[in-house]
């Protein structure tokens, strides 16, 4: 009996290991080793993944993939953390400072995302309009993309946006106009503020912003608890 349990254990371990390391495209250069990552940071400090809660005073985290309240229905991350590369975090701190003057704050739904999570998302929802292709990887895997909204600090609530997070419909597109005027204003205020500070909104999701220059940051598959 004990041998069977051990065997099952080995199978489960190997299965989850195989899942974690499944790479769709051999040509992708994915940093999966913490020592490799640290060596890269030694060489170029801009590659450091910074903890946004420490680095951006007042930023609010609502890390949906650390809960079951996301499109997968699964808890994907073991910790509710948000990391981004140093220059990305610096730009976010400037955005946050600007919002703070209006008694508003940034709310982060997701930031750096290990490659293995991108693979899981694709296997659950195979529409690359809304879910990154595992053949190219996501800019989130590079620590250079952020899913974000705005909270009104007076009410503690998110200002009214066109859709909820990870709403895979046309209403989530940043140019969708069949919305109340105040919602369009809120969305465009977020987009304009982010674009002013070095981010570009994604064509299918009002909440997703790529840092301009994302190509400089390698794809990574290191879980939060190792960072
Ligand atoms: Zn995103």
Name the band, by pLDDT with cuts 50, 70 and 90, for residue 2: low
How much distance in Å is there from the Cα of 55 to the middle of ligand 1? 20
Name the band, by pLDDT with cuts 50, 70 and 90, for residue 21: low
Helix (H, G, I), strand (E, B) or coil at 71: coil
Q: What are phi and psi of 207, to 5 degrees?
A: -90, -10
Q: Are 105 and 99 in contact (CB under 8 A)?
A: yes
**pLDDT of 156-212, one tens digit each?**
999 999 999 999 999 999 999 999 999 999 999 999 999 999 999 999 999 999 999
**pLDDT of 112-133, one tens digit each?**
999 999 999 999 988 888 889 9
Strand-pairing partners, residue 84, are 50
How much distance in Å is there from the Cα of 97 to the middle of ligand 1? 22
How much distance in Å is there from the Cα of 1 to the middle of ligand 1? 46
Domains of the chain: 2-226 (3.30.1380.10)
Average pLDDT, the chain: 91
Residue linked to tokens 């890269």: 40
Angle between helices 2-21 and 115-124 (to 10 degrees): 100
How much distance in Å is there from the Cα of 119 to the middle of ligand 1? 14
Residue linked to tokens 């500070």: 197
C-alpha–C-alpha distance, residues 43 and 35, integer Å: 12
Closest CA to 87 of 191, 203, 223, 214: 214
């Amino acid at each position: 009996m004990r041998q069977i349990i051990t065997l099952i254990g080995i199978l489960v371990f190997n299965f989850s290991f195989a899942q974690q390391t499944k790479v769709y495209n051999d040509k992708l250069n994915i940093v999966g080793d913490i020592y490799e990552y640290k060596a890269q940071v030694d060489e170029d400090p801009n590659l450091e993944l910074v903890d946004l809660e420490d680095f951006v005073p007042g930023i609010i985290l609502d890390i949906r993939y650390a809960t079951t309240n996301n499109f997968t229905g699964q808890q994907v991350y073991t910790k509710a953390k948000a990391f981004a590369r140093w220059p990305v975090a610096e730009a976010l701190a400037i955005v946050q400072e600007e919002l703070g003057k209006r008694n508003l704050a940034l709310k982060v739904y997701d930031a750096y995302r290990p490659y293995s999570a991108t693979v899981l998302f694709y296997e659950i929802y195979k529409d690359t309009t809304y879910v990154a292709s595992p053949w190219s990887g996501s800019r989130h895997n590079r620590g250079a993309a952020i899913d974000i909204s705005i909270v009104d600090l007076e009410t503690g609530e998110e200002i009214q946006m066109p859709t909820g997070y990870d709403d895979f419909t046309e209403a989530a597109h940043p140019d969708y106009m069949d919305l109340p005027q105040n919602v369009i204003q809120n969305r465009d205020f977020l987009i304009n503020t982010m674009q002013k500070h070095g981010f570009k909104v994604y064509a299918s999701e009002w909440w997703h912003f790529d840092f301009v220059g994302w190509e400089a940051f390698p794809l990574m598959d290191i879980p939060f608890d190792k960072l």
